[in-house]
Amino acid sequence: MASIQKKNNKYCVVYYCKDTDGKRKQKWETYDTKNAAKIRKAEIELKEKKGGIIVSNCKTLEDLINEYVELYGKDRWALSTYDGNMSLLKNYILPIIGKTPLTDINTRFLEIYYKTLTKTPSVPDLNGNVRSEFVSTSVIRDVHKLLKSCFNQAVKWDIMEKNPAFKATVPKHKSEKRVIWDAETFAYALDVCENECLKLCMNLAFAGSLRIGELLGLTWDCVDISEEAIKENRAYLYVNKEVQRVSKKALEELDQKDVIVIFPEERKTNKTVRIMKTPKTESSVPPLKKDTPSDVVAFIWAYMKVPENSREKVKNLLKDANENGVKISHQAPTLYDVVPKEEIAEFEELMRKTIADIVSEASSIACWVYVQKYVKQKTLDEMLQELPGAGQFIIVMDTWFERLMAE
């Protein structure tokens, strides 16, 4: 049996194993979080229970997936992620390749399977909706991501020698460009909206870049938008809860993980229920999201490269508008309306060159880290010693590759 001991704000998994000479010795493994330590403890105890050999009990992909869900998924997945992944397993993975022996699964096998999926009729979602006639390329990418994570665990558990999904080619996905309202459209929508509650939600969503679930999860302890707070520039909106609809099965299997409130059911026959839950992180203030309008990102980026004395001109303009009631239209002025053009030009040219140099250097080091880590099997310490000048970036890329492989 393994045990978990806390030491210097870290969590150590302590267990006994045999060395190459067959001698019994104690081993310590350190993890940053208790949850990670619990997962490792479960893995060790499962190996001990099965005599240290898991492969004999995992003959098929279905056998592996069952252990993957039990040991990895239930500890790592959020409720909505559990629903989504179990749906992929039930509809597109287990019925088609579940009985395949693990020894028959390789990169070529997966690529043939992905091609087969493109001609497989899609299954209705929980609401009975069918988005496309056949399985879409975006769903196939989700299937690939799930299998890659599963096989990665199999490698860690010594069930498979390598991850066959790692080099598999996935059908090319054409993402549709999202239609985003500009400021004029949004202002018009507010003007014609007659529902005050809806108008408030629209303002909050636009100002705070909030999703529907985050809006519904707001409580007064997370918001201070009083006139006094706004005047003193200390207004805030803090997101630490969200509302979601999840399956009752997920609630049961994950033991109501992260759930704060389960709302009353409208009908007992429903397979889903609405809940309020904590987000994946303990607290979160929404950052700039990847779908933030490009003109907003451009303004912020341009602002960051302007000298401090020029920034003060922008601040003073906005301060004057706030204190003296100067009206500014919904379309905010650009930097060129506030700061002389010649002041910015040299910084634009410098930034373009800097960005190009950074991207080129970062790409080179990222490739180098990948080769050292996965081809030459070097440790992080060995990489840091070999290229000390890029230490911080190597650590970042090493962490990123670890997360990518775990997905």
Global pTM?
A: 0.55
pLDDT digits 0-9 by tens, 298-322 = 444 444 445 555 555 555 555 555 5
More confident residue, 70 or 338: 70
Q: Is residue 30 predicted with pLDDT exceeding 90?
A: no
pLDDT tens string 115-125 = 999 999 988 77
Q: Could you read off the pLDDT of 37-48 as tens digits, one per residue? A: 888 888 777 777
Report pLDDT for 284.
44
Bridge-based pairing of strands 259-262 and 242-247 is unpaired
CA distance 150 to 72: 9
Mean pLDDT over the full length of the chain: 76
